[in-house]
Structure 1
């Protein structure tokens, strides 16, 4: 229990200490933000800071810090350290960097930012990568809740159309279309802060319930407690994405960057929301470790519960820690949170495409040109068996985070700022992504004896390429400077 409380204190302290260091390096000032300068009443809309914080939290979180944290807890309480240090040193920096850079570039999406600082080839890759990932995320976050709603109604005596998954899928996709199409302050700006508060209340309720119902949170153990002995590195670092660092956040931060009245809101809106997500993840990892007893020193109980479905595990924990109130909050969480993350995924996809083809979004007609094909693609994908493809999401997610951090590193270098705050986590995430690709069962599935050295070498190569690029840039600058004075 002491380990949990220390990690919680470090997380909160990290917001006030390291978050301010990051803010000081980027140097927000009083220049006009895109929300003020462009203000098209659709995507560029000024909203209060507290709303932006709660919307950003809901957009980046959903069920990510719950499902990911529970999955990570299968390896044991060492997951507490990854959530804590990952959030402060990597996730918070990642989210702040993308949000801040987006404000400095007229609310540009992460793919456009990548092109500015890493070149056109990377921009094209990120454009395609982002849209495919976002449509896949949005679709899965529609199918899951649709199936759960129909199941709940059927279990409580319902019948007919209301127990049909496709009926609820159609309802959710129609909602997605509306939320993706209309101005951001109409539904997202009004309703999502409420859901953000509910997400926080659910986490606080679970935390209190752990203590009041007699559960004991184990201390941190540096041992692999996964029943299948799946290695901690890099599996745990990929499984716990939201709650430590997640590339999906890079697609969401520009949404709020287009709504900030001042650059100085970045600390609370971007870094603060990530720290809050880390706190939520830490609580759920603690719950998974405390509620389910170990067998033979391994997390067999948690693993068996997760095998029955992640939503089932969430219901079970909420019921055991909060009783009847927990059931209501769990229903809200596992249904509303995925939907609210899914629609912002489609909205982000619309903006990526709009940036890509330079399509102005103030006109209804222009938004329709993008929204209709996007939602049609989502409807088609929802009919496919994409279970195997979805297993690649975690790896793709962390790879996107890696690219976003290298983009931020080049931004900081070109602006003569301390780039080590992004270079270190970028190198680390490079090792994670490459190692996972070589050893994961759904990827190349090579032995760790092969994958580990390859991951390390690849990370060092990426680091070397960064310094090579900065050296070339420095030489070009010197030649230009001499030519100018000549």
Structure 2
């Protein structure tokens, strides 16, 4: 199987799912009928309830739900072969994950932007709500811990004999520096749009230009060679502050600007797959390895391991918390719900398929040192395999690592804010 053929077929299937099944869901649920004002307008408070334009909210929502899941999930599930992962991503995304995300967002909007816990209380009982919140809160602790560890590892310097090896830590230090500059740009963007009322188009152009400038600075000036442990503490302090600040100051603008990094990553990946279009080597990455697979953790069975491992690439309960926790409070109008929730999920499916293509080439080129190296190394190697673009492989690797870190950091912000909501609701 050729990676270009695989990607093209999956894109067509996902697009058809969005157009036809998504349209059917809108009609079945009555989304947008009657021009009912959303909670972002009826309950606007300038902190959590703030109406956002569709592109801005799409940036927040997609950045928050993507996280590391659609990358690490397919990489972990790849032990069963690329075919079962592909089938589950397509079927799960269109008929389960997309419906789940869209339904959670719409239900929350029709319940004054309340979370799933409050919706359960209104339709079942207070006891059911409390049980759900306890379970979700404990789950969010795990999510925050996992994403914090991932981000810290992408920032953390490499130590040898107790001394920082700056040569081996250059990429990590660059990613950390760019991320710090990125936060500053997002704050300025938020004040420009919501307090100075600068036009969205002009602000976006300047914001994206500032991101490019941040990357140029970060790749050439990166003085922070902190250990992973130190970064864990700094990240903990950051998310604590970010979880209580008004969404327009940091969450909305940072996620919106982050989305351009994510879109750029998708474009780079597609260019790499189209330009290099490597075949999937059946010896290195079989289509199907069997119902049971032996690895370092013992025998793994396709059911249920495949479905729990792919997670965000097909369906994830975390998405319902995002949809009902932050996205519903910023939805400008109901008609935006389909492209943001259903479309966002299917876009995540595209990322999962791209990850499978990256795995195939990463195994050929020797990039097997963890999920970050597999994904970034595989895509960057494809870019380097295109005649005339060999010189871009290293810079593309750094860009992809930065984007991967941005995925995790945006999810970390949102997860911490969601945990605050649940603590307040209990």
Per the normalisation by structure 1, the TM-score is 0.66
Task: Describe the SS at the equivalent of 1:84.
Answer: helix
8 Å CA contact 2:361, 2:381 repeated in 1: no
Aligned partner of 1:317 among 349, 354, 378? 378
Q: Which runs of 5+ in 1 are unaligned?
A: 295-300, 357-486
Q: Partners in 2 of 1:314 and 1:344 — Cα distance?
A: 24
Per the normalisation by structure 2, the TM-score is 0.75
**Max radius of gyration: which structure?**
1
Shift of 1:330: 2.2
Shift of 1:33: 1.0
Shift of 1:3: 4.2
1:86 paired to 2:92: yes
Q: Partners in 2 of 1:142 and 1:221 — Cα distance?
A: 33
Shift of 1:101: 0.5
For structure 1, which segment, 277-286 or 168-177, has the greater mean C-alpha deviation from structure 2 after superposition?
168-177
Q: Name the structure 1 match of 2:209.
A: none
Shift of 1:221: 4.2
1:277 paired to 2:342: no
Q: Partners in 2 of 1:68 and 1:286 — Cα distance?
A: 14
Aligned partner of 1:264 among 335, 343, 349? 335
Q: Deviations over 1:229-281 (max 9, x none)?
A: 63222111110011100001011012110011211111011111111111111
1:179 paired to 2:242: yes
Q: Partners in 2 of 1:325 and 1:133 — Cα distance?
A: 36
8 Å CA contact 2:362, 2:375 repeated in 1: no
Q: Name the structure 1 match of 2:103.
A: 97
Q: Name the structure 2 match of 1:251.
A: 321
Q: Partners in 1 of 2:76 and 2:371 — Cα distance?
A: 9
Task: Describe the SS at the equivalent of 1:249.
Answer: helix
Larger RCO, structures 1/2 (Cα 8 Å, 6+ apart): 2
Task: Describe the SS at the equivalent of 1:241.
Answer: helix
1:62 paired to 2:128: no
8 Å CA contact 2:40, 2:331 repeated in 1: yes
Aligned partner of 2:406 among 313, 316, 336? 336
Q: Partners in 1 of 2:125 and 2:280 — Cα distance?
A: 48
Q: Name the structure 2 match of 1:352.
A: 422
8 Å CA contact 1:63, 1:334 repeated in 2: yes
Q: Deviations over 1:140-172 (max 9, x none)?
A: 212222233122594425799833223222221
8 Å CA contact 2:313, 2:348 repeated in 1: yes
Q: Which runs of 5+ in 2 are unaligned?
A: 174-222, 384-392
Measured at CA, do residues 253 and 218 of structure 1 come closer, stay the same or move farther in structure 2, by a change above 3 Å?
A: farther
Shift of 1:114: 2.6
Shift of 1:139: 2.5
Shift of 1:63: 1.6
Q: Partners in 2 of 1:324 and 1:92 — Cα distance?
A: 35
1:71 paired to 2:134: no
Task: Describe the SS at the equivalent of 1:32.
Answer: coil
1:106 paired to 2:121: no
RMSD over aligned Cα atoms: 2.5
Shift of 1:20: 1.1
Q: Partners in 2 of 1:73 and 1:164 — Cα distance?
A: 31
Measured at CA, do residues 191 and 69 of structure 1 come closer, stay the same or move farther in structure 2, by a change above 3 Å?
A: same
Measured at CA, do residues 312 and 20 of structure 1 come closer, stay the same or move farther in structure 2, by a change above 3 Å?
A: same
Q: Name the structure 1 match of 2:21.
A: 18
Q: How many residues align?
A: 346
Q: Name the structure 2 match of 1:215.
A: 278
Q: Name the structure 1 match of 2:192.
A: none
Q: Partners in 1 of 2:148 and 2:42 — Cα distance?
A: 35
Measured at CA, do residues 148 and 210 of structure 1 come closer, stay the same or move farther in structure 2, by a change above 3 Å?
A: same
Q: Name the structure 1 match of 2:129.
A: 123
Shift of 1:354: 2.0
8 Å CA contact 1:94, 1:245 repeated in 2: yes
1:166 paired to 2:223: no
